[in-house]
Structure 1
Amino acid sequence: MSEHATSFKPSLRLFDATMIVAGSMIGSGIFIVTADITRNVGSAGWLIIVWLLTGFMTLTAALSYGELSAMFPRAGGQYVYLKEAYNPLTGFVYGWSFFAVIQTGTIAAVGVAFSKFAAYLYHPLSETNYLLKISTGLSEAGVPGYFTISVAQIVSIILIAFLTWTNTKGVKGGKWIQNIFTSTKIISLFGLIIAGIIFFKPEVWNANWTDAFSMKKLSGTGSVEGVIGASILGAIAASMVGSIFSSDAWNNVTFIAGEIQNPKRNIGLSLFLGTFIVTLIYVCANLMYVAVLPLHDLAFAPQDRVAVAAANSMFGNAGTYVIAIMIMISTFGCNNGLILAGARVYYSMGKDGLFFKKAATLNKHAVPGWALWAQFVVASLLCLSGKYGDLLDMISFVVVIFYVLTIFGIFILRKKRPGAERPYKAFGYPVLPALYILMGTAFCILLIIYKPNFTWPGLIIALLGIPIYYVVSSRKNNSNIE
């Protein structure tokens, strides 16, 4: 066999594609972020509304992307859609943000989540077990600062390296890991939901649904602050940062279009099936939390680990180990999907001369091996920096901006290329895509107003892509002239 393949092998079926959608979405978020949402909205009714709103937005976006995936059934997905609808600069800014933080930061965070919960089973893997601790002096507040490297960070890097290596050996290995681990975690989550029905606590449920649609902000001291007027919208937007992050990465399947059989049909269908399954699981999981945990315990679960608190309520101390194993399975499968799909974006950028040339090559197993290892390096650096958590807080804002731009691209392409083949058309066009654009824009504006710390840093990272694009473009033009 030659050292390099010349094209991708379409070996992924509809089931495989659906498992990539669902598996990339379900990481550790559903087990944790409900605590922060509950603190922001302070009631069971609003908690479920936040998850339903997120589910509606995710499903609407996925159904809209079906049209784009059918028009451009090739590797690169959202990067290609933005480039075709707008211009290469817009596509590059997305690809840059994707490489700098969106995909690599998510891979780092999911890897560290795996290690943190592995420490429940074997404590030496803990994030508090430091291999290196160097003083960085005092902060402005006079608090000592340290640069640390923990065993959890090293374990996460080893995990990412293993999954990267597996995916360099061809898409089939990654496919089997994805199918097995995603099926297992879906079944496990439904099992946990059924356990909630079995261990249902009527007194807890009734108390949680008393005054369930009165929004209030909860604090650890026990104080309750009513939320009224325009502040309600701000509280919803702040709450949705966690739920949107937990529901993100559904678009990863579009990046691997070149490896999916009958992509014009199967990508759109897998987007719908995967996002529907996950939305159903997320809403039901939160109903389970409300059925077994008092609202205060939901909001202030130790380290925000709501699922651990719920499992302990149902199974006693054994619940901690049940959830730890579930999250390890979940994050392992999630990272496999993220790693598998992400490298295809850098491959497409390389093909366009907007990334390293080596990223545009396929190895003998017909996968972008160099791009996979480049992704591994950045994700590992983010693991070591300890800043992936801060970066991820900014991701929801940046990600939704690009989703809004991409869905608006449907309107642009309908006008720009009216005669283009559209084997599948966006469901509910123009109403549902327009509704997503309005909801996504409102979400971003509200975050700018009420949670600026979630917005400006992420926006700056994305905008850094503009000068980088012009530097890369000038070099590309110069090389073409030469």
Structure 2
Amino acid sequence: MSEFKPSLGLLDATMIVAGNMIGSGIFIVSADITRNVGSIGWLLLVWLITGFMTLTAALSYGELGGLFPKAGGQYVYLKEAYNPLLGFLYGWSFFTVIQTATIAAVGVAFAKFTAYLFPGLGESKTLAIAVIVLLTFINTRGVRSGKLLQTTITITKLLSLFGLIAFGLAAANGAIWKANWTGAWHLHGLSATGQVTGYLPIAALGAVAAAMVGSIFSSDSWHNVTFIAGEIKNPKRNIALALGLGTAIVTLVYLSANVMYTAVLPLQGIASAEKDRVAVTAAQVIFGPGGTMIIALLIMVSTFGCNNGLILAGARVYYTMAKDGLFFRRTGELNRHSVPEFALWLQCIFASAWCLSGKYGDLLDMISFVVVGFYMLTIAGIFILRRKRPDAERPVRAVGYPVLPVLYILMGLTFCGLLIVYKPRFTWPGLIITLLGIPVYYFVRRQAKGAEGVAPAAAN
């Protein structure tokens, strides 16, 4: 088969957005955020800022999805707005770290929490790889198999999360809530042992940026739905709707979950949660000793569904790059089920290698700078494309244009600038990985041109 089959409706696309966003982050990263900001007001504000940025970016991407309703998503947007090199650098970073290391991290999270329910398995990297292989196989059987699994699991985990939040708010402790709101806007460091560290005014902004690394990672991958535009029914309309609905639902879940955490746990309890497992600590308060098992089961479902969406969407980027002569040629082929099977298995191999390396977590922390940088460039591309292609059909236009896109870019620049100054370890590894793609790009282009030159000679 040479073309994708449009078989995903609005509900399926929305569940891909929400399912890809909700992995294990919301159950864990609030501990590190609390250690960085030290107060309930700033904890919730970090999540609110991240949610606003994510929703703003998603509403902006809706215009690009309608303008280029085909597989490839952000890679295509960058290539069309700027040049093939920038598109390739995104695709290169996406394959080497952003997508494959995320798949590995989510797979290992699944294995760790499975160990709560089945201790005999241990926190096995083998189990993580087995799940990645299983989900890859399911997705090679056609997009219908992947979408059914994704939609079912995402609806299940959303209902479960809302249920957890409802039970938590019902069990809210008034004394803890009142104590947490005392000095709610005092920005300071709070160690796991309770030590308080004051910040100078400018350094305080650096602490907020460092805190947002976790919330941005937890909110990432919302744009994966744009990678599979060629398989979405009525993509010019449904991509924008799915982006808006999916990110809005997840933003509500994340804010509500953190309100619930602070209603049942003191800030010190959040900051010192064992292995940062805030949700486990909260569930033990809400449900008693059985709370650990409840959260373990919820995270198993959440990470399983998240990885299915990541695996399904990621391979479409490599497929589109191959069609442009910028990736392995076989990744640009579809199997009899109309999916890029070779691209799926290549992604599986690379993600499995990250599982074995154990370095995916460090790299994901360090890639936040690059991820936000590409988001800013993509959103800036809306302005460029409106000038380059003023008469192009735009079924959906960026909400709040030009104010909201400009605001996102300014917030992104502030975030990245603060990381450069105060947390350089979160910036240089991602930059190096991205820039390594430049010589790779020119090598691939040279090889492609050489192959084009050989073909006519062979024909003669």
Task: Report the TM-score, using the length of structure 1 for normalisation.
Answer: 0.94
1:363 and 2:335 correspond: yes
User: 2:248 — aligned with what?
Assistant: 276
* 8 Å contact from structure 1 (residues 363, 369) kept in 2: yes
User: 2:132 — aligned with what?
Assistant: 160
Letter in structure 2 aligned against 1:64 = S
Q: 2:180 aligns with which of 191, 196, 208?
A: 208
User: 2:112 — aligned with what?
Assistant: 116
* 8 Å contact from structure 1 (residues 361, 370) kept in 2: yes
Deviation at 1:442, TM superposition (A): 1.0
Deviation at 1:263, TM superposition (A): 0.1
User: 2:286 — aligned with what?
Assistant: 314
* 8 Å contact from structure 2 (residues 79, 87) kept in 1: yes
1:195 and 2:167 correspond: yes
- Mapped to 1, the partners of 2:173 and 2:300 lie a distance apart of 28
Report SS of the residue matched to 1:380: helix
1:264 and 2:260 correspond: no
Letter in structure 1 aligned against 2:94 = F
User: 2:407 — aligned with what?
Assistant: 435
Deviations 1:446-478 (A, max 9, x none): 111111111101110111111100000011111
Moved more, 391-400 or 16-25: 391-400
Letter in structure 1 aligned against 2:334 = L
Deviation at 1:396, TM superposition (A): 1.4
Aligned residues with identical type, % of pairs = 67
1:14 and 2:16 correspond: no
* 8 Å contact from structure 1 (residues 256, 344) kept in 2: yes
Q: How does 1:44-443 map to 2 (within 5 A)?
A: 44-127=40-123, 152-443=124-415
Deviations 1:155-185 (A, max 9, x none): 0000000000000000000001101110010
Deviation at 1:225, TM superposition (A): 1.2
* 8 Å contact from structure 1 (residues 215, 228) kept in 2: no
Report SS of the residue matched to 1:53: helix
Letter in structure 2 aligned against 1:255 = F
- Mapped to 1, the partners of 2:104 and 2:254 lie a distance apart of 23
- Mapped to 2, the partners of 1:243 and 1:306 lie a distance apart of 14
User: 2:419 — aligned with what?
Assistant: 447
Letter in structure 1 aligned against 2:60 = S
User: 1:134 — aligned with what?
Assistant: none
1:38 and 2:10 correspond: no
User: 1:148 — aligned with what?
Assistant: none
Report SS of the residue matched to 2:304: helix
* 8 Å contact from structure 2 (residues 366, 430) kept in 1: yes
Report SS of the residue matched to 1:118: helix
Q: 2:434 aligns with which of 458, 462, 482?
A: 462
- Mapped to 2, the partners of 1:406 and 1:331 lie a distance apart of 28
- Mapped to 2, the partners of 1:119 and 1:167 lie a distance apart of 26
Deviation at 1:41, TM superposition (A): 0.2
Please list every run of 5 or more consecutive structure 1 residues that lacks an aligned counterpart in the other structure. 128-151
Report SS of the residue matched to 2:189: strand
Deviation at 1:222, TM superposition (A): 2.4
Please list every run of 5 or more consecutive structure 2 residues that lacks an aligned counterpart in the other structure. 455-460
Deviations 1:331-359 (A, max 9, x none): 00000000000000000000000000000
- Mapped to 2, the partners of 1:124 and 1:113 lie a distance apart of 16
Deviations 1:269-303 (A, max 9, x none): 00000000000000000000000001100011000
* 8 Å contact from structure 2 (residues 419, 426) kept in 1: yes
Deviations 1:209-258 (A, max 9, x none): 01100101012342211224111210110000000000000000000000
* 8 Å contact from structure 2 (residues 283, 291) kept in 1: yes
RMSD (Å), alpha carbons:
0.7
* 8 Å contact from structure 1 (residues 59, 272) kept in 2: yes
Deviation at 1:194, TM superposition (A): 0.2
- Mapped to 2, the partners of 1:400 and 1:226 lie a distance apart of 28
Higher helix residue share: 2
User: 2:457 — aligned with what?
Assistant: none
Moved more, 113-122 or 219-228: 219-228
* 8 Å contact from structure 1 (residues 308, 320) kept in 2: yes
Letter in structure 1 aligned against 2:317 = V
Task: Report the TM-score, using the length of structure 2 for normalisation.
Answer: 0.98
What stretches of structure 1 move > 4 A for 4+ residues in a row?
none
* 8 Å contact from structure 1 (residues 116, 125) kept in 2: no
- Mapped to 1, the partners of 2:193 and 2:51 lie a distance apart of 32
Letter in structure 2 aligned against 1:342 = G
User: 1:140 — aligned with what?
Assistant: none
Letter in structure 2 aligned against 1:322 = I
Deviations 1:371-400 (A, max 9, x none): 000000000000001111111111211110
- Mapped to 2, the partners of 1:83 and 1:346 lie a distance apart of 14
Deviation at 1:419, TM superposition (A): 1.2
- Mapped to 1, the partners of 2:121 and 2:66 lie a distance apart of 45
Letter in structure 1 aligned against 2:285 = S
Deviation at 1:69, TM superposition (A): 0.4
